[in-house]
Chain A
Amino acid sequence: MSAYEPVIGVEIHVQLSTRTKMFCGCELSFGDPPNTHTCPVCLAHPGVLPVVNEEAVRRALLIGLALGCEIAPRSIFHRKNYFYPDLPKAYQISQFDIPICGRGEFRALREDGSELLVGITRAHLEEDAAKLTHAGGRRAGAAESVVDFNRGGTPLVEIVTEPDLRSPSDVALFLRQLRQTLLFLGVSDCSMEEGSMRADANVSIRPVGSHEYGTKTELKNMNSFRFLERGIEAEIARQEEIVGAGGRVSQETVHYEPDTGHITSLRSKEESHDYRYFPEPDLVPIAPDPAWVEELRAGLPELPLPLRRRMVGEMGLSAEDAEVLTEGPELVVYFLEAAALADPKACANWIRGELRAQLREAGVEPWQSKVTPAHVAALVGLLDAGTVTVPAAKEVMAEVIVSGEDPADVVESKGLGAMDEGDLAAVVAEIVAANPDQAQQLRDGKNKVIGFFVGQTMKRTGGRADPQSVQRLVREAVRGD
């Protein structure tokens, strides 16, 4: 057990997936040729003025409401001044002392069922910088750097947490579940790889039991949760080593090298930036109509944590079912639609299991396939009523995947309906009669032999027999001999 306790807060930049940029009408794009989504406004030509994207405000409000933040009745933009080639105005329009979303909190659920409560300091709106690419990798010593203004002006929400996190694994857990929530809200693609979600961590350590904060370092811009978790681990270890040796941690920005596992200091010199913030005179305050805010609050989708609780508590799903099905908003919607029409647990099993397995080869997700949630529910209903057997149901599903036909129609047209009890009993009787040795073994208590009879029956009936019924009928037939 270490003598030190890590104290971690995170800042998350979320690119909003609006149609257009934060302050101009240019469309957002990812992967289009460089500098093809630009205009005088986002290139900072002389005389241009920013105009706030209302959809970005709406999404920022959704984020704030989902995080339980206080919504500012009136928030303002500031200019954050610095020269850099990725910032054509030489200032970023951001929010400073009056952000659109104030204090809130986020609850995450650990695997052991315990709850992780993370205070949200604020969430504010700003614009993204353009994208710089440095020939030869890192910017220090790069032979050449090129800039793509397509990304410049993309709406961003920056979410800042309180220093409430105490372990790298909690940070990763928090970020994963925050990401899930943002996906549910439909506000961002939240792709770490594509940079539409980026996280920085402020890390410090202090002696266990202490209530004061140590000097923090800022771990910049990791492009995966795993690297961030490992980076924080490495940074904690580095700080413990420094403090353990009687040294002092200096406030700086650090970088984690995933290849070597090393922490390097990034730019302690640039840390002394004076951004000369002042209120942006080209914009008026954001003062959302309270009725609009209430409308947004009322329209919030059911968020992952309460939803998972409901799935387990009311629908009889396992914790694992709930976690898998709340992976993303599309799957959840798909499941909930099916579960409204048939037994939720059976729907969960079929969606998680057979449906995804059968679709995997084609690389298609359930909601993209021809199988509708109503189809899943119908199939579960057919099973429940004993109209089809499990093996036949799998066949029906395969057919629905191809044709998109109604399961009941498939059962009808393909003759996949379960056999009548009397017909099945006749088949079983025939098979038992034809295999007297095995029948004797079963009578002698060799229960394993029942599998042989079931197999034979299934083969003969082409899967239209219910294995449970077959077992029962075999026993009856053997006893009746």
Chain B
Amino acid sequence: MGLRDLTAAGQIAAVLAGETSSEELLDAHLAAIAADDVDAFLAVDAEGARARAREIDAMPERPPLAGVPIGIKDALSVRDVVTTAGSRMLEGFRPLYTATCVARLEAAGAVVVGKTNMDEFAMGSSTENSAFKNTLNPWDHGRVPGGSSGGSAAAVAERQVPWTLGSDTGGSIRQPAALCGIVGMKPTYGAVSRSGLIAFASSLDQVGPFARTVEDAALLLRHMVGRDPMDSTSLDWPGEIAAPTATDLSGMRVGVVDELMGDGIEPGVRAAVDAALGTIEELGGTVVPVSLPSALSGLATYYVLAPAECSANLARFDGVRYGPVAPAANLLDQYETTRGDLFGPEVKRRMMLGTFALASGYYDQYYGRAQRVRTLMVREFAQAFEKVDLLASPTSPTVAFPLGDRTADPYAMYMADVCTIPVSLAGLPAISIPCGLADGLPVGLQLAGPAFSENALLGAAHALEGALAFDTRPPGLVT
């Protein structure tokens, strides 16, 4: 077993046992990135990573994350490292500061090796909206890795790094985790600071971990959560994210959301999820059906609110203060040409949608109404959690789809997030773990819980992970 086959926790243990060093770990992973055939990374900071790894190796007492390498979604600012959010609008842009969550991980001893590919400004479910390149699914190079955090998911599945950070607005961590056969978690809204996360939809965006094991995801999350004075919407996480140890689910009541098990779910996905529900019962859990009627309006609600917020969030990109700028005769021309040339079609589509949804005369009909549905959804989830401890559903209605399959049909692409969006709108934590294969492609199971139930979620996911014994190694991957 090579160094890359160790989990992050395993790598930390190996460093602490003196069996390897941070720099040796870095070399092993940099070599994998160099030989990359899934195009997971947009930028690699080998020099900076090496300097940091040596620094950590020289420390008499290793920090908790012991210099284990990490990949960061390109939506997160890392000082002096090119950060583009997958857009030509920020080509070559080097931020002046580091996102709080990244800075916290660095302080805990993580070594940032580079920035991973993503859908432009996190808008998409396949990473095909990246302005720079497609990332391939490690399980089938003809298929998408999911998105928007596709690069982060593929990098972990391909064992180029043991863990990465992604951001999730409507499913952008959970869905690619499902499609790439790994673990991905979206924490409670406010649990992780958004400072330094290039905003897509501020009221939904949340940073979270990708890893091959639930234990690793928990470990990474432990060092990220907590109030940040730079983010007014961040909160003190009550207590500490614990190392998950549960091996059974006795006494656990798991609700299966009727509305998310309907017609749109592929048979192979349904079969794998049903099998996982059986495993939950075998582990001592009780599975009960629950109804979240407004979940069916989730997609429509999301595609009003998120575009509305993004229409304002992305208005700052005008080429004046940073980023490339198109030559123009006057200011208006400069705005129009820069924005017209450098934003991709999906980003423009959503900004147009959002601008329309906020227009006077339409506001109440769209934005106002969507907010009311969102409030209703929060209430329905709260009611559901009076009856059950966790909710289970497929993470994605389908397995990874072929590259190019949905690029011409935005609505089909939006459907990829139908199961993950309601949880996002309610601001709740959710985790996706691989629960089996359908036609040789991974299927993800989504578990969602009440606000700040991360420890319960991670515990349940850990118990289930042990029983399901899913092999995260994609076929043909040589480590």
Residues of A within 8 A of B (CB): 40, 43-52, 79, 81, 83, 85, 88-91, 274, 276-278, 281-284
Contacts and interface: CB of A to CB of B under 8 A. Distances in A.
Interface of B: 76-77, 83, 85, 90, 93, 95-97, 99, 194-199, 201-203, 229-233, 308-309, 311-312, 315-318, 320-322, 331, 335, 355, 358-360, 363, 367
A481 B76 CA distance: 105
B232 A284 contact: yes
Contact of A46 (B90, B203, B315): B90
Most buried by A among B76, B99, B197: B197
B312 A51 contact: no
State the majority secondary structure of interface residues on B. Answer: loop
A282 B202 contact: yes
B230 A49 contact: yes
A283 B95 contact: no
A48 B331 contact: no
B197 to A, nearest CB: 6
A284 B194 CA distance: 14
A23 to B, nearest CB: 10
Contacts of B317: 46
A49 to B, nearest CB: 5
A46 B93 contact: yes
Nearest to B201: A281
B114 to A, nearest CB: 18
Given A46-B90, A278-B309, 5 more contacts: A49-B231, A89-B315, A90-B312, A276-B363, A282-B232
A278 B232 contact: no
Contacts of A276: 311-312, 355, 358-360, 363
Nearest to B85: A46
B358 A278 contact: yes
Contacts of A43: 321
B232 A49 contact: yes
B202 A281 contact: yes
Contacts of A52: 232
B454 to A, nearest CB: 21
Given A43-B321, A47-B197, A282 B233 contact: yes
A47 B77 contact: yes
A235 to B, nearest CB: 27
Most buried by B among A88, A278, A284: A278
A81 B77 contact: no
Contacts of A49: 194-195, 230-233
B320 A45 contact: no
A52 B312 CA distance: 19
A56 to B, nearest CB: 14
A387 to B, nearest CB: 61
Contact of A281 (B77, B99, B309, B358): B309
Q: List the 10 shortest-distance A-B pairs measured between CB atoms, nearest first.
A: A90-B315, A281-B203, A276-B358, A281-B202, A44-B316, A46-B198, A47-B196, A47-B77, A47-B198, A274-B360
Contact of A47 (B195, B229, B311): B195
Most buried by A among B83, B199, B321, B335: B321
A81 B93 CA distance: 25
A51 B232 contact: yes
A88 B311 CA distance: 14
A51 B229 contact: yes
A274 B356 CA distance: 11
11 contacts: A47-B195, A47-B197, A47-B198, A48-B196, A49-B231, A51-B229, A85-B331, A274-B359, A278-B312, A278-B363, A282-B199
A83 B96 contact: no
A98 to B, nearest CB: 14
Contacts of A81: 311-312, 315, 358
Contacts of A284: 232-233
Contacts of A44: 316, 321
B320 A85 contact: yes
A83 B232 contact: no
A222 to B, nearest CB: 27
A244 B379 CA distance: 60
Given A47-B77, A49-B232, A278-B358, A83 B195 contact: no
B196 A50 contact: no
A283 B77 CA distance: 20
Nearest to B315: A90
A9 B317 CA distance: 37
B99 A47 contact: yes
A258 to B, nearest CB: 29
A49 B230 CA distance: 7
Contact of B232 (A40, A85, A88, A283): A283
